[in-house]
Amino acid sequence: MLEIKHLSFAVPGDAADKEIIRDISLTVGKGRFVVITGPNGGGKSTLAKLIAGIERPTSGAILLNGVDMTDKSITERAHMGVSYAFQQPVKFKGICVIDLLRIASGKKLSVGDACAYLSEVGLCARDYIHREVNGSLSGGELKRIEIATVLARGTALSVFDEPEAGIDLWSFKSLIEVFERMRSANTDRTIIVISHQERILNIADEIIVLGGGRIMAQGSKDEILPTLLGTASVASACGQLTKGGDK
Q: How many residues does the chain have?
A: 247
| Contact criterion met (CB below 8 Å) for 209 and 216 | yes
Q: Is the pLDDT of residue 241 over 60?
A: no
pLDDT (tens digit, 9 = 90+) per residue, 126-182?
888 888 887 678 877 888 888 888 888 888 899 999 888 777 777 788 788 888 888
CA distance to 99, 117, 118, 203, per residue, from 197 (Å):
32, 25, 24, 11
Degrees to nearest 5, angle at CA 36 with 73 and 25: 65
Q: What percentage of residues in the chain have a pLDDT greater than 70?
A: 90
152 C-beta neighbours (distance < 10 Å), count: 24
pTM of the predicted structure, to 2 decimals: 0.84
β-pairing, 33-37 with 206-211?
Answer: parallel
pLDDT (tens digit, 9 = 90+) per residue, 16-62?
678 899 999 999 998 899 999 998 888 999 999 999 999 999 999 99
What is the arithmetic mean of pLDDT over 99-111? 87
- Least confident stretch, 63-77, 171-185, 217-231, 233-247: 233-247
Q: For residue 68, what is the DSSP state?
A: E
Distance between terminal CA atoms of the chain?
36
pLDDT (tens digit, 9 = 90+) per residue, 136-152?
788 778 888 888 888 88
Q: Is the pLDDT of residue 243 over 70?
A: no
Buried b or exposed e, range 171-182, using 16+ CB within 10 angstroms: bbebbbebbeeb
- Distant-in-sequence, close-in-space partners of 167: CB < 8 Å, separation ≥ 6: 139, 140, 143, 175, 245, 246
Q: Is the pLDDT of residue 236 over 70?
A: no
